[in-house]
Structure 1
Amino acid sequence: MTTGGKSALPEGRTAEFAIDVTGVTKRFGTKTVVNAIDLQVRRGEIFGFLGPNGSGKTTFIRMLCGLLTPDAGSGFCLGYDLLRQQAEIKRHVGYMTQRFSYYEDLSIRENLDFIARVYDVPSRRDAVQRSLDRLGLANRSHQLAGELSGGWKQRLALAACLIHEPQLLLLDEPTAGVDPKARREFWDEIHRLAADGLTVLITTHYMDEAERCHRLAYLAYGNLLTRGTVEEVVAAGRLTTWTVTGPQLQRMAAALRGRPGVDQVVAFGNTLHVSGRDAQKLDAAIAAVLDPEHTWTRARSSLEDVFISLMDTAKDNFA
């Protein structure tokens, strides 16, 4: 049943969610690259989608925006049926890919004008100017895209994604290869957009970026392993973490690795982080190497500690 070109949401679904999918699966040949994912993203939320390379994040995003059809599962994106209304979804979603995909021999303004034509944006000239002004591109509007640095290319790509005023922004590792200042400015803009009601699903490998999201999900080998706020994800990891300082830390690390209860030993500057999922076994392992030269302190497990632990325990279904 449809109303005004839009699917009437079935019982149990709600307009609260920009993304509301169940059991979404994608296979390529004999490989299942996205395995029965359930996900709900609220409108106006910044949702972080994390996982190692090859985990299925990009494939999942392409299904959400109508570029790929799931082999199984169902759901809605912006109220449109994921399987039957892909053309409608495309008109209301902005998708920023990992690689810069605009014409390098056209100027910033020309690129934006071309994208506005593709989306048949009304009052195209005004829309392009608004986009230039919003992303701070007006003074560079005649510069060729191929001459831009990574940070300015990122701004152009974001401006192009927003030219048709989408309701959902899908960003696939958008800050890879840009400097810290450009990353911070980018995230400030994302939070401004979300405050205005835009929903954002973003993939990233940076833990500081993950912590700027309202909620997170972690994907490994096509399987969704955890989801929630940063605090909920860290708590669900059930890791115990200690820090140790002192001389000869590499020798200490070698003595700890491989002991029962020790799942991670990671160097952070002049400190080692030692983590494990079994607190009693971890304490016993530490007790075996205690000496007067080293200081041990109980620490809060970080998001990175939890994600590495999840990755270590995930089953590689591509092996």
Structure 2
Amino acid sequence: MDIQLNGVSKSFGDQLAIDRVSFMINSSDICCLLGPSGSGKTTLIRLMIGALKADDGMIQLGETVMPSMDMLHTIGFMPQNDGLYDDLSAEANLEFFGSIYKLGKSELQKRITEVLKLVDLTVDRKKLVRNFSGGMKKRLSLAIAILHQPDVLFLDEPTVGIDPILRRQIWDQFQTIRATGTTIIVSTHVMDEVLECDRAALIYNGRLIAYDTVPHLLDQTENGRVEELFLIAGRQGGAGHA
């Protein structure tokens, strides 16, 4: 499913959080929202999933203008802070969220088995989440986000605070999910994660300073490191195109 943003702006009181952002994400791509903490990445994701309404501009998922309740069943969302129930098992957490997605009993059990296998938590199916490590909770949160086989998956800083080996495993899982046709939008401030993506939107002080395929973005730098584009934007006072 394609995603289109046209001139999207959002303020909180006197604070301008998103400033006239426009770009398009192609269906089945992995698009990275890359920027330092506080740049507006989470706000942008909340606008795209319909949790916030833009002050100006328009967001479309496919042909549907957001926010739209009708699109909730086509969206998967993994927030920064997991919304898991520590006193329930991994399986019980998945059953709870599956009931929200209104999955039938037999379909739900089939999907629970599939997603637990994908995130390598099959043997921990009955374990209480309070006994999970931070990395296991991340993987369970991902399993919940893809349980209903969404067309679009939003991941807000999914690899924060996890070790490099697990980070590699999680990105491998994202690639597997993308191969099924799911469009993935992932926010991060880890610069090297841009190399995992098809396209990247560079966000700085609420503005889009660059948007292109990853190879084209890297071609704009002298040393092949995307950080250089943020340094340029900083010297220009955050000016860029949107």
- Local SS of the residue matching 1:69: coil
Aligned to 2:8: 24
Please, which of 225, 229, 233 is the counterpart of residue 310 of structure 1? 233
Contact 1:230 1:303 in 2 (8 A): no
Q: Which has the higher helix share?
A: 2
Q: How does 1:229-308 map to 2 (within 5 A)?
A: 229-237=213-221, 239=222, 300-308=223-231
Shift in Å at residue 25 of structure 1?
Answer: 1.1
Distance apart, 1:190 and its partner CA: 0.7
CA distance in 2 between counterparts of 1:95 and 1:311 reads: 31
1:198-253 per-position Cα deviation (integer Å, ceiling 9, x unaligned): 1000011222211111111111111100011223223335x4xxxxxxxxxxxxxx
Does structure 1 residue 63 correspond to structure 2 residue 67?
Answer: no
Please name the residue that 1:95 is paired with: 77
Report whether the alignment pairs 1:111 with 2:125.
Answer: no
Deviation, structure 1 residue 101: 1.5
| 2:33 maps to amino acid | F
1:1-319 alignment runs, 5 A limit: 18-83=2-67, 86-122=68-104, 123-237=107-221, 239=222, 300-315=223-238
DSSP 3-state at the match of 2:220: helix
When normalised by structure 2's length, the TM-score is 0.92
**Whole-angstrom CA distance in 2 between matches of 1:311 and 1:46:** 26
Instruction: Determine if contact 2:32/2:194 at 8 Å carries over to the other structure.
Output: yes
Give ranges in structure 1 of 5+ residues lacking alignment.
1-16, 240-299
> TM-score scaled to structure 1, two decimals?
0.71
1:305 alignment partner AA = E
The residue that corresponds to 1:293 in the other structure is none
**SS of the residue 1:216 aligns to:** strand
Count of aligned pairs? 237
Any idea what the Cα deviations from partners look like across 1:139-172, whole Å, max 9, x if unmatched? 1011111211122111100000011110001001
CA distance in structure 2 between the aligned counterparts of 1:22 and 1:301, rounded to whole angstroms: 29
Counterpart contact for 2:204–2:230, Cα < 8 Å: no
Distance 2:14 2:230 in 1: 27
**With CA pairs under 8 Å and 6+ residues apart, which has the higher RCO, 1 or 2?**
2
**The structure with more radius of gyration:** 1
Q: 1:78 touches 1:89 (CA, 8 Å); kept in 2?
A: no
Task: Tell me if structure 2 keeps the 8 A contact 1:22–1:39.
Answer: yes
Q: 1:129: how far off?
A: 2.0
Matched to 1:119, the amino acid is: Y
Aligned to 1:255: none
Name the CA distance, whole Å, in 1 between partners of 2:220 and 2:29.
21
Q: Which runs of 5 or more residues in structure 2 are unaligned? A: none
3-state SS of paired residue (1:175)? coil
Deviation, structure 1 residue 311: 3.3
* Equivalent-residue separation in structure 2 for 1:133 and 1:211 (angstroms): 26
* Cα separation, 2, equivalents of 1:137 and 1:78: 33
- Identify if the C-alpha distance between structure 1 residues 48 and 208 changes in structure 2 by more than 3 Å, giving closer, same or farther: same
Can you list the C-alpha shifts for 1:116-155, whole angstroms capped at 9, x where unaligned?
0111112322222222222221110111112111221111
Identity %: 32
